[in-house]
Amino acid sequence: MDKTYFRICLILILVVFAGLLFVSKASAAVTLTPATGGTNVSIDTTSYSGGTSAWTTLTGPVIAENINGDIGSSTTAHVLTLPAGWEFNTTVGQWHAIVTGTMLLGATSTTANTMSFVVSATSSIGTLSTLTFSGIQVKPTGTATSTVNITQTTGIITGITNGDSGVGTSLGLINSVVGAVNNLNIYQAPVVGATVDNPFNTQPIISVIDRFGNGVGSQNVVASVGSGTGTLFGTLTQTSNGNGSTTFSGLGYRKSGETFTINFAVGGVSTTSAALGPLSAGAAASLSVETAVDGSGTTVPSQNLNSGSAITAYSITRDQYSNFVANAAADAWSLASKTGNVVDTDLVAASDSKSAVMTGHNSGTATIHATKAGLTAADSGTITVSACSPYSVSDGSVGSYPTCAITCNAGYYLTGSSCSLIGGGGVFSGILLSSPTYSSGSLLRASNSDKVYLIDNGEKRWIPTGEIFNANGYSWANVKVVASGVISGYTEGANVQQATTLPPWQTIPEGGLIRANGDVDVYIVKYVGSKKFKRLILNPSIFNSYKHLKWRDIKDVGKSVADSFTVSDLVRAVNDFRVYKLYPAGDTGEKRWIETAAVFTSLGYNWDSVYEINQTDRDSYKTGQTLK
C-alpha cells in the first residue's frame, strides 16, 4: 500500500510539473522590436503618375524568442502584410531574414503587399533563436497621405496577434506626409475698394499644395507687387494652416490711377493675381507747391530766377501716399523765408487761387508757400533772384560788365560784355538786367513786341513774315518770350530769307505717319494753320484698327524733324463729346476725362491739338481720375 501511495504521489508531481512547463511556455511571448525608418515618408515618392517612385528602406523588424519554439514551424508560411496604398519592393534578394540560433528557415517570397517565409525547423530544446529582417523597402502607391502598420496575417509567433493593420500586432509603423510645395492657388481673389486709403474689400486666400493637391501647412506665403509702380500695405507674410490655407489681412495698395497685380510666393513657387484696380486717390492730406497743374510734376525745386523772369507754381493736393488728388484752390499764397530785396508783391496769386506767379525783381531769396486748412503744407525749394549791381563808366572809357549785362544807358553802346561811350561827356551808372545766353538757332521774341528773331552766331536776325517762318521749318512752339533788353543786347544781322528748298517737315502730308530714326514709336501728324501736331499710336493693334493706315506709309525722319511737331495727348472719340487727356505707358496707358470746357481752358490746353480717334483707340486706355 505504501508503494501504491508513493506511485500516486509521483504521478501527481509529474503532472503538476508538466502543467507548469506548459503554462510557462504558453505565456512566454517573443521580444518584438518593430521596424523603424518608415515614418514621415513624402507622398512625392509615390509610384503614382507624377511621383518620384522612390523606395524607403526600413530597419528591422527583429523578433527574439524567449522560449525555444516561440517562432513556430509549419508547412504554411508566415505572411507579413502591408495594406493597400503601399507596396513592398519585390526585387528578388532585396530583403533578407537572418536567423541567430538553431531555427531553420525555408523558402521566402514577396508580392506587392506581402512578404512570406517558412520556418522549416524550430529552435532546438535549450536554445533560443532571433529572427532579424533587413533590406525591406516600401513606398506609397496613391496620392493621399495615410498611416498603416505591417502585420502578420498567417503563421504562429507567441505573443503576436495576427490580423490586418489596426487589428494585428504592429511589426512596423508606416506613414506618409504631404510633399514639397509645388503650387499656389488663389482660392479667393482679392477685390479692391474705391480708394487707396482702405484695405481691399475682399482679402485674398491662398492654398499651398504639393504636386498632388494636398495642402501643405506651416509655409510662409509672401505677398508682393507683381506689376505696378506702387507698394502694398498690410500684413505681407502669412503662414499656411494644416490644410495649406492662408488668409491675408489688411492688404491694400498705395498707388492710384494704375492697374496692378499681386504676386504670392513660397520660396521659388509663386502665382500672380489677375489685374486689379485702378484705385482712386485717397482723401487729401497735404498741399504742395508744384510745377504741373495735373500733378505730373514735382515740388518746385531750388533754382535761380533772373530778374525779369517768372516761375508759375500750382497748389496740388495729395493723399497720404502722395497720389495726386486735385489742383485745389489754396487758402493763401505767400513768400516765406525771404532774404535780400525779395518782397511779398513779387508773388501774385491767380484769381482762382490754384496757382501763383513769382517774378524776379531785386536780388534775394524766398520759398513759395501755399496753405489750405487741415492739410500739411510743402513749400517750394529756395528761389534765388539774381540782378546785376550798378557800375560806373567814366568819360571815354570802357567799363567791363559781368556776363549778365545786356543794356547800356543812353549815349553808350554795347560791345560784347562792355558799354562804350558814344561822343564823350559825363559819367553814368548802368543798372544791368540779367539774361541767359542763347545759342545759335534759338528763336526769341521780346515780351513787348511781335517780332521774332533767329539768333545766329551772336547776331539777331528778324524773320519778317509768318510765311518765311513756316517755310524755313521753324516751330512756333520753340519761340521763347524774353525781356526786351535781351533782344536789344544782340547785334542786328540780316533779315532771314525764305529757304530755297522745302524743310523736311513740309514733305509730310496731313494725316501722315512719322517715326524718328532709331525709335519705335509711330505718330500721326496734323496741321492747324501754322501749328504742327503729332499723336502717338499706342501699339500695333491700335494701328491696325484704323483701316486706312498702312505700315508701308510710315516715314522715318530725323529727330529734329520729329521734334518740330508738338506732341498732342488730347483726344475725343467719334460720336463722343468727351475730351480726354492720355497718359501713355509703353503699349498701354490711362485716359482722364476733362470734365468741362472751363477746366480744359484753365489747364492751358489747346483746342486745335485735339485729335478725333476711333472707339477702339479710346477704349484701349484704362480710365483714370477725372480732371476737374
Reduced 3-state DSSP string for 214-225: CECCCCEEEEEE
Return the pLDDT at 488. Answer: 81
Q: Are 315 and 287 in contact (CB under 8 A)?
A: yes
CB atoms within 10 A of CB 14: 10
* The architecture CATH gives domain 183-272: Sandwich (2.60)
Tell me how far apart the alpha carbons of residues 480 and 609 are, in angstroms, rounded to a whole number: 20
Strands 412-415, 269-272: parallel, antiparallel or unpaired by DSSP?
unpaired
> pLDDT by residue (tens digit) across 116-129?
999 999 999 889 99
Q: What is the pLDDT of residue 628?
A: 85
Predicted pLDDT of residue 501: 54
Strand order in the sheet with 570-573: 611-613, 570-573, 579-585, 588-594, 622-623
| Predicted confidence (pLDDT) per residue in 79-128, tens digit | 999 999 999 999 988 999 999 999 999 889 999 999 999 999 999 988 99
Q: Can you tell me the distance from the alpha carbon of 30 to that of 155, in angstroms, rounded to the nearest whole number? A: 14
| Confidence at residue 17, expressed as pLDDT on a 0 to 100 scale | 42
Residues 468-485: what's their mean pLDDT? 81
The band of 27, judged by pLDDT with boundaries at 50, 70 and 90, is very low
Element (DSSP H or E) covering residue 112: none
> Which among 535, 555, 563 has a CA at the least distance from the CA of 475?
563
Q: Given this model, what pLDDT does residue 449 score?
A: 87
Contacts of 92 (CB under 8 A, 6+ apart): 110
Q: Considering only CA atoms, which of 21, 18, 107, 122 is closest in space to residue 65? A: 122
**Is it true that 25-177 and 183-272 share their CATH fold?**
yes
Q: Please report the pLDDT score of residue 506 as a whole number.
A: 61
Whole-angstrom distance, CA of residue 80 vs CA of residue 60: 13
Q: How confident is the model at residue 473 (pLDDT cuts 50, 70, 90)?
A: confident
What are residue 126's phi and psi, to 5 degrees? 90, 0
For residue 405, the model assigns a pLDDT of 37
- 13 or 490: whose pLDDT is higher? 490
pLDDT at 502: 54
Tell me the pLDDT band of 361, cut-offs 50, 70 and 90.
Answer: confident
Predicted pLDDT of residue 52 = 96
- Residue 299 to residue 367: CA distance in whole angstroms: 11
Higher model confidence: residue 13 or residue 453? 453
Cβ atoms within 10 Å, residue 125:
8
* pTM for the predicted model, two decimal places: 0.57
Residue whose cell numbers read 530769307: 497
Confidence at residue 387, expressed as pLDDT on a 0 to 100 scale: 64
Whether residue 545 contacts residue 617, with contact meaning beta carbons closer than 8 Å, is answered with yes
For 481, the grid coordinates are 518770350
Q: CATH: 3.40.50, 2.60.40, 3.30.160, 1.10.10. Which one for 25-177?
A: 2.60.40
Question: How do residues 161-172 score in pLDDT, each as one tens digit?
Answer: 999 988 999 999
pLDDT of 238-283, one tens digit each?
999 999 999 999 999 999 999 999 999 999 999 999 999 999 999 9
**Per-range mean pLDDT, top range of 254-268, 294-308, 453-467, 487-501:** 254-268
Domain 286-386 indexed as CATH 3.30.160: no
Q: Helix, strand or coil for residue 443? A: strand
Domain boundaries, the chain: 25-177, 183-272, 286-386, 506-623
Q: What is the spatial distance between Cα 327 and Cα 38, in angstroms, rounded to a whole number?
A: 70
- pLDDT tens-digit map of 410-464: 455 545 445 554 443 333 333 333 334 577 788 888 878 889 999 888 889 999 9
The whole-number pLDDT of residue 21 equals 40
pLDDT at 400: 40
- Using the Cα atoms of residue 404, residue 410, residue 412 and residue 413 in order, give the sign of their dihedral: positive
CB neighbours of residue 582 within 10 Å: 23
Average pLDDT value over all residues in the chain: 85
Hey, what's the cell of 243? 490644410
